[in-house]
């Protein structure tokens, strides 16, 4: 899977920015792609099992919030929705969702990122 390090987006050693138009690995002018963190890197910076924070920004349409929560719940085989919070932009065009599910392993984290990156309406993953 590829993520984008696009101009104007910041990347730190623990967070990866991924505009939707670059997630597929398609070439975008001015966009550099890189791979997601390795399992080893995630395991060195996080304790598993344990909570992991995902941030998803997307268009505030087509039940985006419900779809994101459902994708995470389904990928992690959870019986109930993961803990989450949501904020809207001032004009209401986009929403930012922060989810903090319990992840059993670094592989699960990467599986969630993979699943979310394939969703319609995703603008950025952190």
pLDDT, tens digit (0-9, with 9 covering 90-100), for 35-76: 577 899 999 999 999 999 999 999 999 999 999 999 999 999
The number of beta carbons lying within 10 Å of the beta carbon of residue 17 is 19
Under the banding of pLDDT at 50, 70 and 90, the label for residue 20 is: very low
Distance CA 104, CA 79 (A): 15
What is the domain count for the chain? 1
Segments forming the whole domain that contains residue 67: 37-125
Tokens 């059993």 locate to 104
Instruction: Identify whether 25 is part of a domain.
Output: no
Residue 6 clears pLDDT 50, i.e. is over it: no
- CATH code where residue 85 lies: 3.30.70.260
């Amino acid at each position: 899977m590829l993520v984008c390090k696009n101009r104007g987006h910041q990347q730190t050693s623990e967070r990866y920015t991924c505009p939707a138009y670059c997630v597929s690995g398609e070439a975008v002018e001015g966009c550099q792609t890189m791979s997601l963190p390795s399992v080893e890197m995630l395991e060195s910076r996080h304790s598993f099992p344990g909570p992991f924070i995902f941030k998803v920004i997307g268009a505030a349409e087509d039940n985006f919030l419900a779809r994101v929560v459902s994708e995470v719940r389904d990928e992690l085989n959870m019986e109930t929705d993961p803990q989450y919070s949501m904020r809207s932009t001032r004009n209401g065009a986009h929403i930012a969702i922060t989810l903090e599910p319990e992840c059993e392993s670094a592989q699960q984290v990467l599986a969630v990122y993979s699943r979310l990156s394939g969703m319609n309406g995703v603008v950025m993953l952190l």
